[in-house]
C-alpha cells in the first residue's frame, strides 16, 4: 500500500506514521527526518537546508524530490510518505514519478488538528525549529503551500480527513478505518 500523510507540523504525523508502517509492513519516508540526518552528518546538502529549516520555510523542491526519487523507486512493499509532498509542485512531480513505475498513491490521510493544539505540542517538543516564531511561520507555510493538497487529492478521490486531536490510540484506530 502507498500512503501519503498530510498534516501541519505538530499534527502527530510522525507518531502515527510509526504505528501505520509497523502494522502494514511498509517503509516510512519522512523528508524532515532525512533532512535532519543530512544536517547532523554535516553534509553540503544539510548545511544548505539548516538555515531554511530553522526559519520555518520549505527547502527547495529539487532537494526534497532528489531525496525521495533516490529512495522510492527501490521500494516494493509500499511506503508511507510523511511530510512530503508539501506543495502542489511536489505532488505533481510525485505523481509523475509514480506513474513511470506504475505505482500510484492509494490513499491520502489528512490530519485535522486545531492550530492552538499544535502550538502547545510543538512548544513542548523543543526541537531547534520549535520556537514560537518558527512555529508560526511553519503554520503559515502549511496553510499557503500544503493545505491546497487537500483539494488536489480530493479531486483524485483519494483523500480522507481524520481528526488528529485526542488520544493516540483512538487516532490510530480512525486512521486504520480510513485505510481499508
Ligand atoms: P518536518 O519534520 O516534516 O516538520 O520538517 C522539518 C522541516 O524540514 C520543514 O519545516 C522544512 O523546512 C523541511 N522539509 C521537510 N519536508 C519538506 C518538503 N517536503 N519540502 C520542503 N521542505 C521540507
Q: Compute CA distances 16 → 7, 109, 130, 175, whole Å.
A: 11, 11, 20, 9
pLDDT exceeds 90 at position 87: yes
**What average pLDDT does the segment 78-99 reach?**
97
Which residues does 88 contact at the CB level (< 8 Å), separation at least 6? 148, 149, 152
pLDDT of residue 90: 98
Looking at the CA of residue 35, tell me the nearest atom of ligand 1: 8
Which range in 11-15, 38-42, 116-120 is most confidently predicted, on average pLDDT? 38-42
The answer to whether 171 and 12 have CB atoms below 8 angstroms apart is yes
Helices 31-41 and 61-72 cross at an angle (nearest 10°) of: 100
Average pLDDT over residues 26-42: 97
pLDDT for the residue numbered 73:
84
Q: Tell me the CA–centroid distance for residue 172 and ligand 1, in Å.
A: 23
Determine the Cα–Cα distance for residues 149 and 31; give it in Å rounded to an integer: 17
Task: For 162-175, write each residue's pLDDT tens digit.
Answer: 999 989 999 999 99
Minimum-distance ligand 1 atom for the alpha carbon of 10: 4
What pTM was estimated for this model as a whole?
Answer: 0.95
Going from the Cα of 57 to the center of ligand 1, the distance in angstroms, rounded, reads 8
Average pLDDT, the chain: 94
Residue 76: the pLDDT is 85
Amino acid at each position: 500500500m502507498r500512503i501519503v500523510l498530510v498534516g501541519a507540523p505538530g499534527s502527530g504525523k510522525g507518531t502515527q506514521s510509526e504505528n501505520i508502517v509497523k502494522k502494514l509492513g511498509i517503509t516510512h519516508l519522512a523528508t524532515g527526518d532525512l533532512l535532519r540526518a543530512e544536517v547532523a552528518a554535516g553534509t553540503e546538502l544539510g548545511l544548505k537546508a539548516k538555515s531554511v529549516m530553522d526559519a520555518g520555510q520549505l527547502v527547495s523542491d529539487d532537494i526534497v524530490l532528489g531525496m525521495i526519487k533516490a529512495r522510492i523507486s527501490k521500494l516494493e512493499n509500499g511506503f508511507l510518505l510523511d511530510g512530503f509532498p508539501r506543495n502542489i509542485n511536489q505532488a505533481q512531480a510525485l505523481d509523475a514519478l509514480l506513474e513511470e513505475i506504475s505505482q500510484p498513491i492509494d490513499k491520502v490521510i489528512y490530519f485535522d488538528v486545531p492550530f492552538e493544539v499544535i502550538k502547545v505540542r510543538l512548544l513542548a517538543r523543543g526541537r531547534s525549529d520549535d520556537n514560537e516564531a518558527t512555529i508560526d511561520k511553519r503554520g503559515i507555510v502549511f496553510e499557503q503551500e500544503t493545505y491546497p493538497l487537500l483539494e488536489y487529492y480530493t479531486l483524485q478521490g483519494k483523500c480522507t480527513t481524520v481528526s488528529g486531536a485526542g488520544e493516540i490510540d483512538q487516532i490510530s484506530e480512525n486512521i486504520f478505518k480510513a485505510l481499508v
